[in-house]
Structure 1
């Protein structure tokens, strides 16, 4: 099985929670690539990767359930991250990029913990799923 086929299969068989985790990881990857592009003065790649990270954050923003109480707390955070990515892009600023990366990393880690706890509840405390 090729890497491409494996990746496609992983996405097609992932739960919604796992897909969200993949998106957070992808966002972090694009931010990291943008930082490397700033270092090498490859501003086209910096722009492409920051825009990919922004698209992920914007997808999170449009898919938030407005009725869920957590949405009122997390929407401003997504909006802030999105604006910081824009600022980093405009200013070629790795410090701002680092701030956005840290916030996305915290969200990803929180989401990872939610998945872990959900699995424990689904499969019982004794399982190692």
Structure 2
């Protein structure tokens, strides 16, 4: 059973590393949203260590998103600024224990997820049939 678990973990690592950039972005956004939701529950339950841990993970995901952005374009610079804004929301929400700030960050990331899902669908349409 242990070997099966290792094989599964290896498969997941390889699939993440070889996924198209849009899919990697979607995965990071989903992870950030999941951690924000954990952070909101931790605020409601007054669980400071859990809140801090979840929101730091969410921040890490948001900061990783920046590495996918082309900072040589105006759109890229604006996207980096937006990611910076979300990161600051997460920091403030953690310090102030403010669920409203987390809600704003979550909504922003969910909208971005929709955009990246659309980009991934377009990419798949474009290359559909190229392999066979």
Aligned equivalents of 1:69, 1:51: Cα separation in 2: 28
Aligned ranges 1:33-112 → 2 under 5 Å: 33-112=38-117
Q: Does 2:110 align with 1:114?
A: no
Q: CA deviation at 1:14?
A: 2.3
The answer to whether the 8 A contact 2:21-2:68 is kept is: no
Using structure 2 for the length normalisation, give the TM-score: 0.83
1:59 Cα deviation after fit: 1.7
Deviation at 1:60, TM superposition (A): 1.9
TM-score scaled by structure 1? 0.85
The alignment partner of 1:64 has SS state of coil
How far apart are 1:45 and its partner, in Å?
0.7
CA RMSD of aligned residues (A): 1.8
Bigger shift: residues 4-13 or 27-36: 4-13
For structure 2, the 5+ residue unaligned runs are: none
Structure 1's consecutive aligned runs of 4 or more residues displaced over 6 angstroms after TM superposition are none
Contact kept, 8 Å, 2:40 with 2:51, in 1: the verdict is: yes
In the alignment of these two chains, the number of paired residues is 124
Name which of structure 1's ranges 36-45 and 67-76 shifts more when overlaid on structure 2.
67-76
Local SS of the residue matching 1:17: helix
Alpha-carbon distance in structure 2 between the residues aligned to 1:28 and 1:78: 13
Deviates more, 1:57-66 or 1:110-119: 57-66
Please state how far the C-alpha of 1:74 moved relative to its aligned partner. Answer: 0.8
Alpha carbons 2:43, 2:99 under 8 Å: kept: yes
Query: Residue 63 of structure 2 aligns to a residue in which SS?
Result: helix
